[in-house]
Amino acid sequence: MLISLNWLKQYIDLDGIEISELENALTMIGQEVEKIDVKGENLEKVVTAKIVEKEMHPDSDHLTICKVDNGKEVLQIVCGAPNHKAGDKVALAQIGARLAEDFVIKKGKIRGVESSGMLCSEEELGLGSDSSGIMILPEDAPIGMPLKEYLGVNDVVFELEITPNRPDCLSHIGIARELGAYYNKEVNYPSTEINGETGEKTEDNIKVEIENSDLSKRYVARIIRNVTVKESPAWLKEKVESIGIRSINNIVDASNFVMMEMNQPNHAFDFDKIAAGKISVRSARENEKLVTLDEEERDLATDDIVISDAEKVVALGGVMGGQNSQITENTKNILLEVAHFNPINIRRTSRRLALISDSSYRFERRVDRSNAINVINRLANLIQEVAGGEILAGAVDIYPEPYARRVATLSFEKLHRFVGKVIPKEEVIRILTKLEVEVKDNGDSLTLTAPTYRDDLENEQDYFEEVIRMYGFDNIENILPRLDINPKATMDTTKLYDKVKVIASQAGLKEVINYSFVPRDAIDKIKFTKVPKENLIDLPRPITEDFATLRPTLIYSLLKNAKDNMNKNVSNIRFFEVSRTFEKGEELASEETKLAFILAGENDKTLWNAKPVPYDFYDLKGIVQEIFTKLGFKNYQIKRSAATELHPGRSADVFVGRELIGSFGEIHPDVLENFDLNKKAVLVAEFSIDLIKKYIGRKTVYEPLVKFPAVPRDFAFVVKEDVLVGDILKAIEKVDKKIEKVELFDIYRGVGVLPGMKSVAISVILRDKNKTLEEKEIVEISNKIVNKVKKDFDGILRQ
């Protein structure tokens, strides 16, 4: 957004404030200054001059040799422009003039003829877009005066980075309001009272209808008769061109001026081209087309908002007008439009057609529909001033859905705790009043009603930020917070997250970083039910439909990563992410940091695998166990998973007691189908690092190697098919303290085993740390194992 200082001074007194101080003020209040363009910096050593003689160059059919008087001496200049003659007053760049960073005027020879300067065009001087010839000054222009002084070029243009939540600052009045609150100065608003109206009424000449209030929540129209379309007066042309807008004519320039002044896009139609005096705001119909002002024919879609008359589409609402209703030099009567259009529709249309205009840019971010009458009156007055004409009485105002102002309560106690300093109540009220917030003092709190142009002020935290940015960050002292010293060792959370990332990387996984937002249908798409839908946090005004909900799980993002990579022929996917997930809490959002990783496609071939092998459950389980081991997370149980996003029977949940730490396994076939991955092997895991942190052992205990031999014993138990092997292993581990290790090494179904049964082969390592086990002890422990399995699982020893 470009802001002209001269233009800004129309609304607020900034005299005596240095450019550097103004830059700092804008940055401190959140309107970051990207660039400052001091107009006229390139005009040093450029003066007004007069051509006293002109003749053709002997070695060129288009170059001329001019004798130019600069007020002190007559210089010889070689010129290639076609539009000058002897006696013309011109702009002369003398030797040493720096017209651009890498363009310095030097004395030289052009085809053998010496030239001691340069006659310049508007474009070369940065004063306009005309490059067809040199700049010809009025006949009464003095000779030898610095051009900067003659033209009064003394403006400063700030290029600001305006955040998407502050569309009100996409205007000069918006920035004036900000600076008014910061410097405690009054803002001088332009008059919005109509200067004079005819007896004829607007409503008797134009009828307006809005077919669907979801498309437009307000449409205001006015008519001005007998205007004269011509070049804009110098002051208006200077204003619009100072911020990079090309001057077209007085009507269009006035329209652009008001948009950049009040942040309200508007449009002027040639009223005589509106059929039957009717305007309709509606969705485009199938196969409709429109030639826009840029002379391109556009194929319209049914979610495009269009403005039509009784016969045809005359504008692409909120984006660009139509050529069939544009203002021309023959226009006499004009219809003015100031409206509201649905930001989502505008965004879709603009992106689909690759047609981004100043108008669409603002409508996408929301405009203040409550201010529409003031804007159209200001525009009508300005057009009457620069183009004449008679303004018809009244306006047609279709307003199906008035704007409801937002109300919030601010607690002084919470404010001071947030800021870290007690700001006087009077100062808080002054700041908010200057920001045009309606304030009601309740003693220890304030009831605040946001202005209609500040849709971003929703709760008291938003007002905390308003107070602190206007109070000034520099006015808040650096004071260390009071901390209670805890004698117990605590784990540095940041270090834990970093450690998890290192371990995951060492396990062969590659880190990805995704946005914290997902589409609204993402949770349904992955069949995720661990967080109820009512606990999801939807954004009221998402930037795009893909960023509509704060994600409660990392799985959707990783699946999308896998899908995108597979579409690019990446066959080996080993990704992980450590990030926060979100769901609704009692007051604020509940955040939880999780580790998730995904295996998809095929593992690369190795020396022992001649061909790539698809990933399976045990690849995933191995990585899970490796990460848990290196974190020191031991006392957990693995159970068959009930997670709806995972494949039943090929997934597992990890518990500590009754607390679910996370899940891992193959993705459910329905989810794979939703991502068009139904022929791929895809496995995911997701765990709460915050919960794991609670159970990580604080100390690592080292024990000496046991010098007594281990005794291996193998068992094969026949059990029912539905008995979980993990439960059998845990039961055996608890039979005797001399059992050092229990592992599954085979599951058999087939000949010799009855249908509905399975044979589970288990290896048990026995060891006594104090002595060598005797045969009697080994037999006794073996019998305990057999009896335990028979009692708890109805398992029999396979013979």
Query: How far, in whole angstroms, is CA 131 from its chain's centroid?
Result: 38
Contacts of 240 (CB under 8 A, 6+ apart): 232, 246, 247, 253, 256, 257, 260
CB 574 within 8 A of CB 511: no
β-strands 113-115, 757-766: how paired? Answer: unpaired
291: β partners: 297
β-strands 572-584, 510-511: how paired? Answer: parallel
What is the C-alpha to C-alpha distance for residues 522 and 555, in angstroms, rounded to an integer? 10
Look up tokens 């909900």; give the residue. Answer: 549
DSSP 701-748: PP-PPP-SPPEEEEEEEEEETTS-HHHHHHHHHTS-TTEEEEEEEEEE
CB 595 within 8 A of CB 504: yes
At residue 720, what are phi and psi to the nearest 5 degrees? Answer: -70, 155
- The candidate with the shortest Cα–Cα distance to 120, out of 141, 140, 100, is 100
Indicate the SS3 state at residue 176. helix
Q: From the annotation, which residues make up the binding site?
A: 456, 462, 465-466
- In this structure, which long-range contacts are made by residues 72-76, counting pairs with CB atoms below 8 Å and at least 24 apart in sequence? 72/144, 75/116, 75/117, 76/113, 76/114, 76/115, 76/116
C-alpha distances (whole Å) from 510 to each of 577, 752, 797 are 8, 46, 46
Indicate the SS3 state at residue 495. helix
Q: What is the CA radius of gyration of the chain?
A: 38
Q: From the annotation, which residues make up the binding site for Mg(2+)?
A: 456, 462, 465-466
How many beta carbons lie within 10 A of that of residue 316, not counting itself? 27
What is the C-alpha to C-alpha distance for residues 489 and 699, in angstroms, rounded to an integer? 11
Tokens, residue 376: 């159209």
Distance separating the N- and C-terminal Cα atoms of the chain:
84
What is the C-alpha to C-alpha distance for residues 707 and 433, in angstroms, rounded to an integer? 81
Contacts of 233 (CB under 8 A, 6+ apart): 250, 386
Look up tokens 């028979």; give the residue. Answer: 790
Angle, in degrees to the nearest 10, between helices 412-419 and 425-434: 90
What is the C-alpha to C-alpha distance for residues 61 and 415, in angstroms, rounded to an integer? 76
- The candidate with the shortest Cα–Cα distance to 522, out of 533, 512, 511, 513, is 533
**HEC-encoded secondary structure of 414-438:** HHHHHHCCCCCHHHHHHHHHHCCCE
CB 280 within 8 A of CB 288: no
Contacts of 428 (CB under 8 A, 6+ apart): 410, 412, 415, 446, 467
Look up tokens 């005819």; give the residue. Answer: 198
Contacts of 767 (CB under 8 A, 6+ apart): 706, 708, 709, 710, 711, 738, 740, 773
How many beta carbons lie within 10 A of that of residue 532, not counting itself? 11
CB 121 within 8 A of CB 133: yes
209: β partners: 280
